[in-house]
Structure 1
Amino acid sequence: MTFDSNSLKFDENGLIPAIVQDEQSGNVLMLAYMNKEALQKTLETKETWFFSRSRQELWNKGATSGNKQTVKRLFFDCDQDTILVQVVPQGPACHTGETSCFYTTVFEDEPSIREVVYEVADEIRQRKDNPVEGSYTTYLFREGLDKVLKKVGEESTEVVIGAKNHDKEEVTNELADLVYHSLVMMEILDVTIEDVKTILRKRRPKKEVLRND
Structure 2
Amino acid sequence: MDIDFKKNNDGLAPAIIQDAKTKSVLMLGYMNEEAYRKTLDTKNVTFYSRTKQRLWTKGEESGNFLELVDIKVDCDNDTLLVYVNPLGPTCHKGTDTCWAEKNESKFGFLSQLESIIKSRKENKEDEKSYVASLFRSGINKIAQKVGEEAVETVIEAKDDNEELFLNESADLLFHYLILLQAKGYTLKDIVKVLEERH
Give TM class, smaller chain.
0.5 to 0.7
Q: Looking at CA atoms only, which structure, 1 or 2, has the larger radius of gyration?
A: 2
Contact conserved, 1:92 with 1:99, CA < 8 A, in 2?
Answer: yes
Q: 1:84 to 1:36 in 2, by over 3 A?
A: closer
1:84 alignment partner AA: V
1:76 alignment partner AA: I
Matched, 1:181 2:182: no
Under a length normalisation based on structure 2, what TM-score does the superposition of the two structures give? Answer: 0.64
Under a length normalisation based on structure 1, what TM-score does the superposition of the two structures give? Answer: 0.60
Q: 1:75 to 1:184 in 2, by over 3 A?
A: same
Q: Deviations over 1:55-112 (max 9, x none)?
A: 5364858x99xxxx885762112679724224578646345x5679xxxxxxxxxxxx
Report what 1:125 is aligned to.
118
Matched, 1:136 2:130: yes
Contact conserved, 1:155 with 1:178, CA < 8 A, in 2?
Answer: yes
Q: How many residues align?
A: 177
Report what 1:33 is aligned to.
30
CA distance in 1, matches of 2:36, 2:185: 40
Contact conserved, 1:158 with 1:174, CA < 8 A, in 2?
Answer: yes
- Flag the structure with more relative contact order, 1 or 2, with Cα contacts below 8 A and sequence separation at least 6: 1
CA distance in 1, matches of 2:19, 2:125: 31
Q: 1:18 to 1:152 in 2, by over 3 A?
A: same
Contact conserved, 2:146 with 2:172, CA < 8 A, in 1?
Answer: yes
Report what 2:80 is aligned to.
82
In structure 2, list runs of 5 or more residues that go unmatched: 90-94
1:173 alignment partner AA: N
What's the CA shift for 1:137? 1.7
RMSD after superposition: 4.1
Q: 1:165 to 1:80 in 2, by over 3 A?
A: same
What's the CA shift for 1:167? 1.5
CA distance in 2, matches of 1:50, 1:123: 41
1:48-197 map, 5 Å: 50-56=47-53, 58=56, 60=58, 74-77=69-72, 82-86=80-84, 91=95, 93-95=97-99, 97=100, 115-131=108-124, 133=126, 134-197=128-191
Contact conserved, 1:18 with 1:85, CA < 8 A, in 2?
Answer: no
CA distance in 1, matches of 2:57, 2:67: 19
What's the CA shift for 1:187? 1.5
Report what 1:107 is aligned to.
none
In structure 1, list runs of 5 or more residues that go unmatched: 1-6, 101-113, 205-213
Correspondent of 2:14 among 12, 17, 20: 17
